[in-house]
Structure 1
């Protein structure tokens, strides 16, 4: 399945440097493509928009629409999908406002899923749907043990029935191999997976 890939930063080849702090996100040469008004606005939001990157991939995949990632964020924020506190810390993505947003704006058939096992998610993929799954960001290096589950979102769109693998795009992958068409055994994926996320039923189903 040929699913377009987008990182949550515009320069996917620089993600490793942004993650390590070698580069500040404001130094991304492609920052303006995000829809941000300034490099500072881009740097503030880019570490927080993994969910919008997943949505961007879904829209490109199913509707041939490529929407700037911060345009999506601002619309979703207006629905209550993101909040910024007095300390200028971002909280979100809040799933229920996100679902309302994508239903109203794009006509997507989406629903929040809680306490959904990796096997149940696999069955939904079998039916032809996709899933924005909550995982720990260290899933980019799947030989490591995560300190907890959740905290990051990946776009799960396929499975390998022969080897029982989950196939997904990771908006914060630090190498090409950890970014797109990542294929992990279900038990490995489950180490990082928080048993929740957003199901998007494909329109053809």
Structure 2
């Protein structure tokens, strides 16, 4: 399924241990506190890592994009830098994190990494091939249940995946919270199935 530009994209999970998704779904932050690889995230403590990790799907997508040009950045370093641009709203008193906020993220990646990026809304699934003809990637808002495409989601959006190619027959993407290898890298779904999860918005990015 060729894209107009086929770029080799490494896979990164939003958790440092990519196999943790099922445990995180079942146990939440407690599972992240047991991640033996947490220090790779760039967090100062395992608590800081666990507090951020559920919000890092967008940064995992960015890490994959930057990885496509040979760069490797700790995921939490990216998140904190993005927060300085307003891409996350961090309330230390309530230990809450809100984001990813799209417009500040665009400013962040353009100014910090020289990427070209644009917020897109009202994007029909059928239009994704055209988007990917113009742009290298599309960070798409989907329901996190897309890891189980056979299940009908209750809503659309709430999670971000990196769409790397699209045709009228299939959508290919990397899912930062896939629960098994087949649902993580180079996942391919029929457009009609993808559409059930897709919130018709996201961020187009080019290197």
Same fold (TM over 0.5): yes
Aligned positions of 1:123-202 closer than 5 A: 123-127=130-134, 129-159=136-166, 161=167, 164-202=169-207
TM-score with structure 1 length normalisation? 0.92
Aligned equivalents of 2:194 and 2:129: distance in 1? 11
Q: What whole-Å deviation, never above 9, does each CA across 1:32-70 have from its counterpart, x for those lacking one? A: 000000000000000111000000000001x20010000
Question: How many Å apart are 1:129 and its aligned residue?
Answer: 2.3
Partner of 2:48: 41
Q: Contact (CA 8 Å) 2:116, 2:206: kept in 1 or not?
A: yes
Aligned structure 1 segments of 4 or more residues deviating by more than 4 angstroms: none
The answer as to 2:14 corresponding to 1:8 is yes
Aligned residue for 1:102, secondary structure, equals helix
- What is the number of residues matched between the two proteins? 199
Aligned equivalents of 1:200 and 1:69: distance in 2? 18
Partner of 1:114: 121
Question: How many Å apart are 1:126 and its aligned residue?
Answer: 3.2
The answer as to 2:40 corresponding to 1:28 is no
Instruction: Pick which of 11-20 and 26-35 moved more.
Output: 11-20
Q: What whole-Å deviation, never above 9, does each CA across 1:164-193 have from its counterpart, x for those lacking one? A: 100000000111111111000011001000
**Structure 2: gaps spanning 5 or more residues:** 1-5
Question: How many Å apart are 1:116 and its aligned residue?
Answer: 1.1
CA RMSD of aligned residues (A): 1.5
TM-score with structure 2 length normalisation? 0.92
Aligned equivalents of 2:95 and 2:111: distance in 1? 28
Partner of 1:18: 24
